[in-house]
Copies of this chain bind each other. A is one copy, B any other.
Amino acid sequence: MAEPSEARTGPTGSDTGAPRDRGEKLTARGDERKALILDTALRLFERDGYEKTTMRAIAREAGVSVGNAYYYFDSKDHLIQAFYDEVSDHHIVRALTSMRPHRDLGARLAADLHAWIDVAEPYRAFATQFVKNAVDPNSPLSPFSPESKPTRDKVIEVHRRVVLGSNAKIDPEIAESLPDLLWMHHMGIVLFWVYDRSPDARRTRELVDRTAPMVARVIRLSRFKMVRPLFREADKLIRDFLLPGDEPADRG
């Protein structure tokens, strides 16, 4: 399989299964190195923004070669995935703590979302890029991508706790997919936050304070017979369309 290096003709791609950084074996030193590169990248992203930070700058600052950065991360985007993981982890801890004193569903939800804003705020400068990539179905950063599933599941689990720890009485039939609904509400808030230019995301916080009680009120409505069919159908819809359930295999 010897191809002349200068004639780079033909379709190179379509081999989508790049097993570069996946669960491959990394030595202890490799783990260190990977962390070093990631930390450097996030620091530069925070300081200069995502687009203005070059892979060459990251490599130089971390004291490695460009190629080496690519040995640990498949792409520049993958570095953002790591950022998202980090934010998510911090969010989980903070959210569970801050919602603990509350029993009211709206209050718990608001605490949850405020916790997210607290954690994510330092990175707002380059969060745009995250959302931009998240919206691309082919990106590993897509919320529906296999790569994102573990993180996403963890976040949804938080929303489950929001519901479970509350004193709200909820139609058990819709209770199960409620966390996913709340997750979507969360995503909406995130989208607003990305656009938000007010200092300290004050406007997003205001939005949270006003939507959280509303969401709680809507959920409380589900007990009434008049609207129950509507809720059932909405629930079914969400299950059918938004939750992939079990997609057998993508590349195997």
Q: Are B214's CB and A221's CB within 8 A?
A: no
Q: In the complex the two chains form, what is the Cα distance from A131 to B137 in whole Å?
A: 11
Q: Are A211's CB and B237's CB within 8 A?
A: yes
Q: Shortest distance in angstroms between A213's beta carbon and chain B's nearest beta carbon?
A: 9
Q: In the complex the two chains form, what is the Cα distance from A144 to B144 in whole Å?
A: 26
Contact among B135, B194, B197, B217 for A230, CB-based, below 8 A: B217
Q: In the complex the two chains form, what is the Cα distance from A136 to B51 in whole Å?
A: 12
| Smallest CB gap from A218: residue in B | B230
Q: Are A227's CB and B221's CB within 8 A?
A: yes
Contacts of A132 in B (CB 8 A): 132-133, 135-136
Contacts of A136 in B (CB 8 A): 128, 132
| Smallest CB gap from A195: residue in B | B137
Q: Mark A122-147, 1 if CB is under 8 A from B, else 0.
A: 00000010011101111000001000
In the complex, whether A154 has a CB less than 8 A from a CB of chain B is: no
Q: Shortest distance in angstroms between A132's beta carbon and chain B's nearest beta carbon?
A: 5
In the complex, whether A121 has a CB less than 8 A from a CB of chain B is: no
Given contacts A214-B237, A237-B211, A237-B214, contact A137 B230 (CB under 8 A): no
Contacts of A207 in B (CB 8 A): 237, 241
Q: Shortest distance in angstroms between A26's beta carbon and chain B's nearest beta carbon?
A: 31
In the complex, whether A89 has a CB less than 8 A from a CB of chain B is: no
Q: Shortest distance in angstroms between A10's beta carbon and chain B's nearest beta carbon?
A: 13
In the complex, whether A202 has a CB less than 8 A from a CB of chain B is: no
Given contacts A128-B136, A207-B241, contact A195 B230 (CB under 8 A): no
In the complex, whether A233 has a CB less than 8 A from a CB of chain B is: yes
Q: Are A214's CB and B230's CB within 8 A?
A: yes
Q: Are B131's CB and A135's CB within 8 A?
A: yes
**Which positions 169-206 of chain A face chain B at CB distance < 8 Å?**
191-192, 194-195, 197, 203
Residues of chain A whose beta carbon lies under 8 Å from any beta carbon of chain B = 128, 131-133, 135-138, 144, 191-192, 194-195, 197, 203, 207, 210-211, 214, 217-218, 221, 224, 226-227, 230, 233-234, 237, 241
What are the 10 A-B residue pairs with the smallest beta carbon separation, nearest first? A137-B195, A132-B132, A131-B135, A135-B135, A207-B241, A132-B135, A210-B237, A128-B136, A132-B136, A217-B230
14 CB contacts below 8 A, A to B, read A128-B136, A128-B138, A132-B132, A132-B133, A132-B135, A135-B191, A135-B194, A137-B194, A137-B195, A192-B241, A207-B237, A214-B233, A214-B237, A221-B227
